[in-house]
Structure 1
Amino acid sequence: MSDAPARTETASAEAEQLRTEVRKLRKINAALMDRVERSSDMSANAFSMFETAISLEAMVRDRTSQLEDALGRLAKANADLAEAHSHADAARMRLRDAIDSINEGFALFDADDRLVLYNEGYLSFWPEIVPHIHEGISFHEIARLAAAHHRPPASVVAPDRWVSDRLARHGVADGGHVQALADGRWVQINELRTSEGGIVGIYTDITEVKAEDARDRTRELAERNLVLQSTLDNLSEGVCVFDEAGRLSAWNGALERMLGLSGDLARTITTHADLLDWCRTHLGMRDEGCLAWRGDQATAERVGRLCHAGERSFEIRSTTMGRGGQVFGFTDVTDMLRAQESLQETAETLERRVSERTSELVAVNRQLGEEVAERRVIEAALLEAKTAAEKANLSKTSFLAAASHDLLQPLNAARLFVAALGDRRLALPTRALVNQTSTALDSVEDLLEALLEISRLDAGAIQPEIGNFRIDRLLKTLAVEFTPMARSAGLVLEFDAQALWVKTDIRLLRRILQNFISNAIRYTPRGSVLVTCCPRTEGVEVAVTDTGPGIPPEKRSFIFEEFKRLDTRSQGKGLGLAIVKRASEMLRHPVTLRSAPGEGSTFSIVLPEGEEVRDEEEAGRLPRSDRPMRDLSVLVVDNERQIQSGMRTLLTGWGCAVATADGFAEAAAHFAGDVRPDIILVDYHLKDGETGDTVIERLHQHFGADIPAVMISADRGEALKAQMAAVGTPLLNKPVKPAQLRALLRTMLH
C-alpha cells in the first residue's frame, strides 16, 4: 500500500511532460501550415518550405504516436493506481471492521504519538471527552483531557502529576497496568511498541474481575470470622476481646456461664469498665490488677493471676494486642483446686501404690523391650527378604541374557543338522518329518528370541539408535517377508505406504511392525490385512488393520502382558505385544488400539517426522560377481564339537571343503605353506577366554587380511554389534539360518 502514492506522482509527472511537448508540436505545425497557405508563389523557396512542412508533419505524426503510447501507459498506470487504491481501501475497511468487532478498546498511535486508529470500545472508557477525540490528536492531549474531566480518580488531587506519570508509562510501553475510572470501572491497559516506532494499546474492562475479587475477600473474611467465633464457642475457658477503644468486640458462651450472665452479657457488659465493675463489685473478685486496662500500650504484654471470688476461683490471663485492644481469658479452677486438695490427701496412699506399680512397670518395660527387639529382628528379616526378592527379579533378566549362548548353542547345531538333512534327497515321509522338525525348531527359536529380547529390554541392554529413513522402504521388506505367510493363510495382505521420512530406531520399529502384522495374520480367519502409512498432525502414523474377530474393551490391556492370548488355539507365544509395549515405551512412541467385537482391530504407532537425507546406499552399491559354492574352502572356528559337525555337514552338502578348529592354534595347523581358506566363520565365545575378534585378527596376520570373515555369536548385545560394525565384519546371530548364511557367503565372495 505504501508504493501507490509514489507510482501516482511518477505517472502524473510523465503525463504533464507529454502534454507540454504536444502543445509545442501543435504550435509548430500550425505556424508552418499558416506560412504555406499564405505563400502565393511556386518558387523553389516555397517548394522547399512545403517539403519542410511535410517533414515536420512526419515528425509531428511520430511525436503524436509517441504521445498516444505515453497516454496509453498513463491510462494503465492510472488503472493500476485505482486498483491499488481499491485494495488499500478494502484492506483498511477490513482492518477497521476487525478492530470494531473486538470487545476490548483499541488505539494505535504513530511514531509522533498521534492517534491513527481506534474503535468504539476505546471511546467507551472516556465518554466525557469523546467529542474531542479524533484522528491526529496526540496522546498528550488525550491525557490532559482525561485529567481535566477527572476521569481517573487519581487525577482529582494532582492532575499534572497524573498526566506526567501516565505519559512516562505510555512512553515505556513495556506491558500492562491497571487503572481505576471515575465511574467505578477498572480498566487494564496493555501498551506495546510497533515496528515503525508507534504504540498500540489494548484497553480491557476488568471491573467484574475486581468486583469478584472483592467479593471473594469479603467472603473469606466472613468465613474467618465465623471460624473464629466457632473456635471461641468451643473453648472451655471464657474469652472476651476488647478493641483499642475498650469496646467489647467478641466473647463466647463459656464466659457468660462463668460470670453468671447467660444470654445477657451483650447488654450488661459493653465496655471494659462494665467488665471490671461486674467482676469486682458483683462477683467480689480480687483480681490484683490483672483485669486493669492496658489495651492502649504499643507492645504486647501477657499477665496471669489466680483470683478468688467468694467460694469460686478463677485463673485469669490478660493479653494486650500490638495494634491496640486487650484479650481476657477466664478459667474456672474451683473444681481443680478442690481436686488438688483431694489429691493431696491421697498423695501418701499414691506414693505407696507408686512403689508397687513401679516394679510392675519395670516388668512391663522389660517385656516391651523384648517385643521391640523381636519386632526389629522381624523388620530386618522382611527388609532382607525384600532385597532378595528385588535381586531375584533383576537376576531373572540377567540370567536369561547371560544364558543366551548356552541356550542357543544346541539349537544352532540342531538347525544346521536339519538344514543339511533337508538339502538331501529324502523319501516323502522322511522329508515331512524333517519339515516338522524344522518348524518345531523355528517355534523354539521364536520363543527364545522373544524371551531374550524381553530380558534385554528389561535389563536396559538395548539402546535405541535413532536415525532418519524412509518408512516405505521398510514396509516393502515387510511385504516381501509376510506375503507368503498371508497367502498360505488365505488372506489378502495389502500395503499402502507413502514415501515419508521418519526418525526412530529402525530395528526396534521393524520388530514392532513384525509383531503387529504377524498377529493380524495369525488371528484373522478370513478377509484381509491392510498396512497403511500416512502423515498426522502429531507425526507419521503406521497402522495395521485386520478383519478379525476384534478385541473386547476389557481385554485390551490384557493382551499386552507376557504369555497372554485371547485365542489359545493359535500357535502364538503371547510375547509379541509384550515386546511391542516395552519397545514403544523405550522409543516413547505412542501405540493405540482401535477395535470392536466382530469389526476387526487396528494397531497403530505414531512416529516423529524425520529429515530427508542423501541415500547413498543404492548409489554406492556395486554389483558383485557370484562365485559358485562348490570347492569353496571354508574354515570353521568353534569350540563346540556339535557345531563343528553341523557346519561341516551343512557346508559339505553345498559342495564346500570344510576345515574345523576350536581356536587359533588348531586353525593355523590345518593349513601349510601357501594354502589358505577362502572364507572364515568364527564363533565369538571360544575356550579358555579366547574371543572371535582376536582369532580373526590373528588369522588375518597369519593368512592375509584379504580373506573375508564372518562372526557368529549368540550374544545379541549392542556392544558386539558396534564392535563388529567398526571393523566391517558381518555378524550372524545364533541359531544361524542356513538361507541367511548362504546368501551372506555369496554376497561376500567377489
Structure 2
Amino acid sequence: MSTISLINPEDSPERQTEKLMTIAASLMRRVEEGGESTGAAYAQFQRAALLEEEVRARTRDLEQAMELLNTSNAMLANATQEAEAARTNLANAIETVQEGFALFDSSERLVLCNSRFGMHMPDIRDSLQPGLTFQRYVHLISESLHLALPEGETPRQWRIRRMERHRDDHVIFNVRMIWNRWVQVSEHRTADGGTVILQTDVTDIMRIERQERERLLDDQARLIRATLDHLDQGVCIFDAHGHLAGWNQRMGDLLHVPIRRVYLNAEANGLLDWIEGHFTFQGISARGARDWIARRAGRDPMTFELRRGVEVLHVHAQEMPDGGFVISFTDVSAERAAVAAIREANESLEARVAARTLELQAALGAAERANASKSRFVAAASHDLLQPLSAAKLYLSSIPTDDGDPVTQEILSKTGRALQSVESILDALLDISKLDSGLAAVHVGPTQLGSMFARLEEELGPVARRKGLELRVVPSTAVASSDSTYLRRVLQNLISNAVRYTARGKVLVGARRRGDTIRVEVWDTGPGIPDDKRDVIFNEFQRLESIASPSEGMGLGLAIVDRACALLGHRLTLVSEVGRGSGFLVDLPLAKVQKLDEGGRAVPSDLAQDRLAGRLALLIENDADFRQAMTILLEKWGVDVFAVATGAEASALLSEVGLVPDVIVADYQLDDGERGTDAVTALRHTFGPVPACIVSADRGKELQEICARKDLPLISKPIEPGHLAINLVALLERSTT
C-alpha cells in the first residue's frame, strides 16, 4: 500500500511547516462544522493529530538544521576572516621585500605581486594584475620601452629566449634596461608547480664591477706595458681589424722603424711596407705575410726570418682569441753567426775526418791483409812442420830402448817430451790462427759433459799424479749445447793450466745446473792470480812464471780459451785469491734433448717420436745411400717418406699423388748444380708454405746466410738423429701456431 504524502520533501522546512499548519486548520474547521459524529470525522481527527505530531518533529529538525547552519556560517566567517588576515599578512610581508616579488600558480597565472615588481618598467606596471598569464607577462616585457634589447635582437627573439629559460626549475640572469640600469631576475619553481620571480636592481653592483674591471684593465695595461718594455724581444700587438694596439721600444730598435710609423691604430700593412723595403724575407714571402694578416681569423702560427746584412731577426706571429694577433721579433744574429762558424768548422772537420778515415781504412786494410797473411802462414807452417815432426816421432819410436844405457834413455825421454811440446805449440798456434781469422767453423749441438769429463780425466790424470796432485772429476749427466771439439779444447786447456801451475794440492772439475744453463768449473789450489794480471793472462805468450821451461807451454792456452768462449758465446768468469788458488767458470746453455746413445750423441725422446708419428715427409737427396739411410731412420719414427733425388721428381710425385707433405728435408747440393734451397722455393710456390729444412756438409757462413734469408733451418752433416728430430718437431709446431 503506497502512502500519499501531503508534504513535498524538496520544500524548505519553513514551507513544509506552513503547509502542515494550513492542512491542520482546514481539518479542524471541517470537524467543527460537521455536526455528525461519524467514523469519517473521527478518522479525520486522528489524521490531523498525526499531522500535528509530524509537524512538531519536522519543526524540531528544522530548528536543529538552523542551529547547524548558524554554526557553519559562524565558522565560515571566522575562516574567511583568517584567510583575509593571512592574505593581508602575506601582502604586507612581500611588500616589505626589497626586491620585486611575483607568484604565478601552476596554471601559469599571476596570483599576487608587490609594488616593486615591474617598477623598472612603468609602461607595463598597471597590467601586472592577478590572473595575468606568464606568456602575456613576457610579451609585455619584450615590448616595453624601458627594455634595452641586445644588439641585433628583436622583441620576438627575446621572448623566445626568455621562454626557453622559463623551462628550467631554477634560473638567474641579468636584464639590461635603458639609462644603463640592470635588473637581476631570479626564477624558481615551487613544490606545486607554481613560479616565484624575484627582481633585484643590481645597477650599483654592475657599475662598481665595471669600475673595478676598468681599474684592473688599467693595472694590467700598465703591467703589460712594463713587461713589454723589459723584454729583449720586439713585440707589437694588433686588434681584430689589423690596427696597432700596443708595442714596445725594442720593436722599434730592432726594425729601425721611424717613430712616425708607430702610433696607435696604425695599420699592420703600413708597418709591413716598411719591413719589406728594408729587410729580406726568408721562409715566407711578403705576399704570404700580407695574406696571413688579411685572413682575420683561423690563422695558424707563422714563423719566418728577416735579414739585413749580417743582422738576422726571427719573427713569430700568433693569433689571439679575439681575432687580433701578436708579432714578436728576436735578434738571432749572434746565433746564426755561431751556426755558420760551426758549420764551417764542421765542414773542415769532416774533411779532416774523411782524410783520416781513408788513412785508417788503408791502415786497417793493410793490417787485415797482414793478419790474413799471418794466419795463412801459420796454418801452412803448422801443417808443413807437423809432417816432419810426425816423422821424427816415428824415427824416435823406432830406436831400440833395451840397451839399458840410462844416459841414452834420458836423452830419448827428453827428446820425446820436446817433440810433444813442439806439437802442442803448433796445434795451439793453428787454433789461434783460425780463431783470429774468423775461419773457425763451429757445429753447435748436444754435448754430453760426463763422457767428455771421463776422457779428459784419462788423458790428464797421469800428468797430475806425476806431480803429486789429485785430479778429481765429478761425474755429470748434463747435456750442454755447444761445439764438442772447441768445448773439449777449452776444458783441456783449463785443466792443463791448473795442473801446470799448481805445485801441491788438487784440481777439481765439475758442473752445476743454474736454471736453463750449466756451469762447468775448474778449481785449483795454485798460487792464485793478482788483480792486475787478470786481463793479461788471456793474451798470447803471457805466463806468470817467467822461469818455466818452453816444454811446459808458451802461454797460449788461456788465449785459446778466451777466443773459443767468445766464438761460442759462452761466458767465461775468473775467480781467484792469491795464495789460495783460482777457479775458471764457463756458462753453457742446456741442450733440449732427453736421451744419448752409447757414444754420447743425442737421440730423439719418446715425446718427439710421438709427435712425428703419422707425418708425411718429402726427402730430396741425390746420394742414394744417404737417402736410403735417412728413409729407414724416419720410418723408424713412424714417418711416411717420399724419397726423391731432385726437385723435379719431387714436384712430379706430389702432383701425381695429390698430397702435400707435412715437412720437406732437402740436401743443399743436388745433381747438375741444383740447390736444395731453390727446390724448396719452387715447391712452396706450387704447394704452399710447407715447413722445410736444409741438410748439408757445408759449414760456411755463406750457406748459413742463405738459409737464414729463406727462413730454412740448416742441419749439418753428419746428422745426429736427436738433433734432426728436435728440428723437425720444432718446424711442425711452428707451422701450427
With structure 1 as the length reference, what TM-score do the two structures score? 0.38
Question: Which structure has the larger Rg over C-alpha atoms?
Answer: 2
Q: Which has the higher contact order (CA 8 A, sep 6+)?
A: 1
